[in-house]
Structure 1
């Protein structure tokens, strides 16, 4: 595989000048130390462009075989042996989140951020949806015919930790959103990209108890990745880990919460509902001294999919690796099945079940990956359960629509 062409795109930490009127508290350097809290690794002070990971036409099949861990044939559209990364896995040619991307009827796009605090006590996930994939209102609208994705938008915010657990996911219609290339407003909350960092301003109301949820999250990537991967044989669902290695700043007024930690930022978008093409998946990302290891195990409805395993370092160099050993984990209280990948013979421990829903679970795990003890953010999703009428009837209590 050709090494990537790494070209600096912008300074991660802008030069501070008091005479420019920059408040030092607003500088990314205020929360990004030269050495991170994980094993003393150096955080690269630049954004890097990632080129050359997926070869040009004529070598795509070779790349697909490598990314699938050495399968005998490359996956293809609709092929029964379709791998998780199809042969058209390709550079998007864009290192921006592109909040203005077109979303077809019945389709979706989401921008996902997660982070764990350096001391391991707190966590956060933030997901901004166009065409909220888990919305019961969007599912009901699709039963009447092709549905407008922009009429079903939401910002999901979940805080984890002792005395800091909060959940909000209010769905809003087309009239309550505004989006362009660099920003996305959903009701009173918003996301903004300035070329160097993502800022998320949160002003929501939690459920089931209506409490204010107000704060700011800043996401500073060490590098950016423009490569997107097809997740299914028909290539209707695509995933772009745009910034697998980030430093994240979390500052909330309600609740009073302030911490820093390592995080992750990706983008998913698709042309059809997830439940049409997938039964379930297991996903995880482990923060290592050298970067991050990402594992993606999906079960499609009509063809086999091989697991995907990737390593990305702090310069943005992304490379396929052999999938780690699959380890079964205890089911959640809702009996959602969980499994995670780690080194052979090394136990995987559930540190905390962060989210436990009838069809979905998010967990903080402790595992050994490539000989290193790491913290792992993990999610399990059952789309068969999501489609059950009783689950659809329960969802409005967790996802109100305004």
Structure 2
């Protein structure tokens, strides 16, 4: 396949890790989230720290009226065992704090930290949503590859993506479940100056961990060339690849959302993925085969802004009045 554009023209081996958190959003409608996932034995987990929460019906309604992103900060955590959901956390708070000279983000009792020795630590101390028991979870990432430069997802539209640790050693502990596991981790960030679901209606993406290399593909609407990040001990690159000539084969979930029949990221996985999460506007999928592990997401943010979907989202969220 011919490559269209090399966005990171040289391997990034030897570049330093982030010294501090990127700038946080401060205007109505803006957002930033920090995403991390881990595959460790029979377990998978996802941690997301959100400022201007994409899952918040309150921010969806309030942003056009001037609501600010830090007023709708949120922590999301999901734990899966053999493809089955075990715990779900989604808690929204009216503020977030940055500490430790810009290295640490606090939302409620949970925190994200970039340590001085180059690790990423995420700790969740929460209650399951909407009603449920306590969850105490920790993920520590030791990057094995370095970050890419920030990429604008669609030309002329203010939404951006950056892989921060596309391939990492990962240690997961969930004290409330008695889980201790080690595996592969992934970490990135998205941010934008306007609500998703307008000029950028949605996307689907997937990351594949192989024995020596991680590949991430980001597919965008409107004929925009997809992005591909390749990361290993040899370096990290980010490229745009040609749009597929043949249409992507999809299936329809019970909520009517179209998701890929197969998760592909680089060589891909040749089996139908399992649905880890399924909703009218969002799906999370996973597939494992032959030493390859793929996790992906599909999002249609236009659907989320419908009054009915916003109403449904209340039932998967806890709202805390004080941080």
**Same fold per superposition (TM over 0.5):** yes
- Inter-CA distance 182–293: structure 2 relative to 1 (3 Å threshold): same
What do the CA deviations read for 1:71-113 (whole angstroms, capped 9, x no partner)?
xxxxxxxxxxxxxxxxxxxxxxx83451553432210011000
Shift of 1:343: 7.0
2:25–2:70 Cα contact (<8 Å) kept: no
What do the CA deviations read for 1:2-30 (whole angstroms, capped 9, x no partner)?
533633xxxxxxxxxxxxxxxxxxxxxxx
TM-score, normalization: structure 2?
0.86
Q: Map residues 56-95 of structure 1 onto 2, 5 A cutoff.
A: 95=18
Q: Map residues 168-317 of structure 1 onto 2, 5 A cutoff.
A: 168-174=89-95, 177-180=96-99, 181-195=102-116, 196-299=118-221, 304-317=223-236
Shift of 1:358: 1.5
What do the CA deviations read for 1:153-191 (whole angstroms, capped 9, x no partner)?
0110011115861001110002xx311410011111111
Higher strand proportion, which one?
A: 2
What do the CA deviations read for 1:229-271 (whole angstroms, capped 9, x no partner)?
0012214011010110011111111122111111110011110
Q: CA RMSD in A?
A: 2.5
1:164–1:255 Cα contact (<8 Å) kept: no
SS in 2 for 1:275: coil
1:381 matched residue in structure 2: 299
- Inter-CA distance 373–342: structure 2 relative to 1 (3 Å threshold): farther
2:3 matched residue in structure 1: none
1:327–1:348 Cα contact (<8 Å) kept: no
Q: 1:151 aligns with which of 34, 48, 71?
A: 71
Shift of 1:281: 1.0
Is 1:160 the counterpart of 2:80? The answer is yes
1:392 matched residue in structure 2: 310
Report the Cα distance in structure 2 between the residues aligned to 1:164 and 1:384, rounded to whole angstroms. Answer: 26
Structure with larger Rg:
1
- Inter-CA distance 364–97: structure 2 relative to 1 (3 Å threshold): farther
List alignment gaps of at least 5 residues for structure 1: 8-47, 50-93
Q: Relative contact order (C-alpha < 8 Å, sep 6+): which is higher? A: 2
SS in 2 for 1:290: coil
TM-score, normalization: structure 1?
0.70
List alignment gaps of at least 5 residues for structure 2: 1-5
Report the Cα distance in structure 2 between the residues aligned to 1:326 and 1:221, rounded to whole angstroms. Answer: 35
Moved runs in structure 1, 4+ residues, more than 6 A?
none
2:206–2:265 Cα contact (<8 Å) kept: no
SS in 2 for 1:129: strand
SS in 2 for 1:284: strand
SS in 2 for 1:395: helix
Residues paired across the two proteins, number: 305
Report the Cα distance in structure 2 between the residues aligned to 1:279 and 1:229, rounded to whole angstroms. Answer: 18
SS in 1 for 2:312: helix
Is 1:105 the counterpart of 2:24? The answer is no
- Inter-CA distance 315–342: structure 2 relative to 1 (3 Å threshold): closer
What do the CA deviations read for 1:312-363 (whole angstroms, capped 9, x no partner)?
222432143746787524332323211243679x873234211111211101
